[in-house]
Amino acid sequence: MRAYYFDNIPGDQRLPHDSTRPVAPETLAALKVSSWAIPVEGHEEKLNAIARERGYKNRDTIDVSKAGMGPIYEDKIKGFFQEHMHEDEEIRYILSGSGFFDVRETPTDEWIRISVTPGDLLVIPEGIYHRFTLDENDNIKALRLFQDEPKWVPYNRGPDTDANPHRIDYLRSIGVGA
């Protein structure tokens, strides 16, 4: 997993958009973004241990590819790229393919781009603004882990979402806001 500041240059979201300013693991930790590297070969045991420890009882698999989806692919990935938050953690373990999770750094409001490849387990906290895109390989297969019910409703960024208690709790947890 590699993280860097997004360059904000207009163009295809699937391009790396690497500003060449790296982001240190401590910066991600301060934003409450967690990650582990678990080799795909034989991942079950280690993944199950982390899932048990953190109370992720359930999981399913998501498989997104240009080849598999045809014409709706472009619209679909534009949807993933809308800035939003959730009222629960978003947990992904990459089985194959690759992509980019962008998370908003607060209070700078800069995008941090996290490049994920097979073996990456990424936990994005509830209340953080983020978005996702596939890269130019146009395919990713990932496990989605969750606790009881999946809470994957995206709340797009805006004044209403800024006032969401989960957003406010998140800001408090990173020491921003009251």
Please give the residue ranges that form the binding site for Fe ion (CB under 5 A). Answer: 90
* Closer CB to Fe ion, 90 or 120, in the complex: 90
CB of 86 to Fe ion, least distance (A): 5
Binding site for Ni(2+): residue ranges?
A: 84, 86, 90, 130
* Closer CB to Fe ion, 49 or 62, in the complex: 62
- Name the residue number minimizing CB distance to Fe ion: 90
The secondary structure of the chain, three-state, reads: CEEEEECCCCCCCCCCCEEEEECCHHHHHHCCCEEEECCCCCCHHHHHHHHHHHCCCEEEEEEEEHHHHHHHHHHHHHHHCCCEECCCCEEEEEEEECEEEEEECCCCCCEEEEEECCCEEEEECCCCCEEEEECCCCEEEEEEEECCCCCCCCEECCHHHHCCHHHHHHHHHCCCCC
CB of 39 to Fe ion, least distance (A): 25
CB of 122 to Fe ion, least distance (A): 11
* Closer CB to Fe ion, 17 or 130, in the complex: 130
Binding site for Fe(2+): residue ranges?
A: 84, 86, 90, 130
Binding site: residue ranges?
A: 84, 86, 90, 130
